[in-house]
Amino acid sequence: MKSIFFTFLFLLIIGKITHAQETENPYIVPNDPQVVKNIEDWQDLKFGIFMHWGTYSQWGVVESWSICPEDEGWTQRKGPFSSDYTTYKKAYEDLQKTFNPINFNPDKWAVAAKDAGFKYMVLTFKHHDGFCMFDSKYTDYKITSTKTPFHTNPKSNVGKVATEAFRKEGFKIGTYFSKPDWHCDSYWWPYFPPKDRNVNYDPKRYPERWQKYKDFTYNQIEEILSNYGKVDILWLDGGWVRPKQSIDPNIDWQKTIPYDQDIDMANIAAMGRRHQPGLIVVDRSVSGEFENYRTPEQQIPDVPLSYPWETCMTMASSWSYVPGDIYKPAGTIIHYLVDIVAKGGNYLLNIGPSPLGDYDSAAYTRMKEIGAWMKVNGDAIYGTRPIAPYKENNICFTQNKDKRVNAIYLAAKDEANLPPTLVIKGIKPAKDASIQLLGTKNKLKWKTVDGETVITIPATLQKAPPCLYAWCFVISEIE
């Protein structure tokens, strides 16, 4: 009775949370059937690799934010130039003159990422600082500028070479692009000092300058979507660049946006889809027609969400490369992945390449461990959809399109052996169902006891699990 009550309470809470999210900011299903189909296909991929890379990697500091004159924990300046804002910004922008990632070898990245089980990639083409990791003709603040030593390298157009390398390995391609540009004089107009992350003049008072900025943004996005092969996702960051009426006063960082910064997303999306039919547009945090999926950051929702979503998260602690950064253990990453997939999301996991152009060795080690797990359990991850009860203590559920159900047991840190029995409450196997552990051949014995499913794991198997961290029991058919 008690458990029925708690299940009821739980469902009521889930209902309330998802309902609240939907009524406040309803998810808008795109009109274009090709976009809808592409989102559905993207939801099969589950696991993407994110890369934040720019000149900032040379100092091992936060991406872009140290030039933002806001007093936030993550904007703090460090190092010899930090005491004076103007000197600091100049030194930061001068990083362009020393950026020379001579070890950049995206084939190596793509092979390692594929082996780890990643299926799509998102690369920072341009972050808030405005430095272009692609050959834009609208600015000289870019990797291919004669000011940047790397420009003579045959791989200097990083955006191009990296996306080609990943595409060749079968990856879908996402391009991260920051709507705000803290280098561009029609965003931070040098006439005024910048005050915060926002445009530093009122676009209503200076409509021509704002128009210039809109054109600049449109043109750069058009370059990316027409010169860089097939792009599947346009991942737009910097949600404060948004129409005033879209500001959600319940969200702290949005409350303080001083101006209307309408960048004309309808125009950008239409152009994007002329070049890239069915393009998925992710206008992050600006709920509406151009946020084709949502992107909780550094967090996993407590409950499944009723719309397409992706958790973006750092593999270490910073998005940017920081020497000696601590990387999450593979077991943690795998548990997060399983939890996210069971709740219907995708997992976009970030690695920040170093100033010389490679991943930290810890990232390669993690990828190997994740890959080993994926090779055994990928079938319970890719192409699956969530199924209630989603998660039961340390067991997560997913469902294959042919209706098989996977019960994925998340092992505790010191749990090296499988338990003697596994008890499942919320999923009822069909009478003739078979249950098998992924990575093994034999069918397991199971029975129903007081309405719960009890699976017996033979002693030999307990001691020889097919992989580390999480074990997946496949139920051939449910009631």
| Residues contributing to the site for ligand GLC (CB under 6 A) | 52, 63, 237, 297, 312, 319
Cα-Cα-Cα-Cα dihedral sign, residues 221, 222, 227, 228 = positive
Q: Residue 188 CB: number of other CB atoms within 10 A?
A: 25
Q: For residues 124 and 51, what is the distance between their CA atoms, to the nearest angstrom?
A: 6
Nearest to ligand GLC by Cβ — which residue? 312
Least spacing, CB of residue 152 vs ligand GLC, in Å? 29
Least spacing, CB of residue 113 vs ligand GLC, in Å? 18
234 vs 395, beta carbon nearer ligand GLC: 234
Least spacing, CB of residue 458 vs ligand GLC, in Å? 45
Contacts for 202 with CB less than 8 Å, ≥ 6 apart:
258, 259
Q: How wide is the angle at C-alpha 111 spanned by C-alphas 107 and 116, nearest 5°?
A: 145
Length of the chain equals: 479
Least spacing, CB of residue 206 vs ligand GLC, in Å? 27
Phi-psi region of 148 (alpha: psi -120 to 50; beta: other; left: phi over 0): beta
126 vs 209, beta carbon nearer ligand GLC: 126
Least spacing, CB of residue 69 vs ligand GLC, in Å? 15
Q: How far is CA 449 from the centre of its chain?
A: 41
Beta strand 233-237 with 172-178: parallel, antiparallel or unpaired? parallel
Q: How far is CA 166 from the centre of its chain?
A: 16
- Find the helix or strand (DSSP H, E) in which 176 lies: strand 172-178
Contacts for 464 with CB less than 8 Å, ≥ 6 apart:
none
Least spacing, CB of residue 93 vs ligand GLC, in Å? 17
Q: How wide is the angle at C-alpha 380 spanned by C-alphas 377 and 383, nearest 5°?
A: 125
65 vs 359, beta carbon nearer ligand GLC: 65
Q: 119 to each of 90, 231, 282, 292, 366, how far by Cα in Å? A: 39, 14, 18, 19, 16
Least spacing, CB of residue 319 vs ligand GLC, in Å? 5
Least spacing, CB of residue 84 vs ligand GLC, in Å? 23
309 vs 319, beta carbon nearer ligand GLC: 319
The residue behind tokens 């596994």 is 422
141 vs 471, beta carbon nearer ligand GLC: 141
312 vs 330, beta carbon nearer ligand GLC: 312
Residue 423 has φ and ψ, to the nearest 5°, of -115, 125
Pull the structure tokens for residue 134. 């692609």
Least spacing, CB of residue 287 vs ligand GLC, in Å? 17
46 vs 179, beta carbon nearer ligand GLC: 179
> Looking at the DSSP assignment, which residues form a beta bridge with residue 50?
122, 350
Q: For residues 316 and 313, what is the distance between their CA atoms, to the nearest angstrom?
A: 9
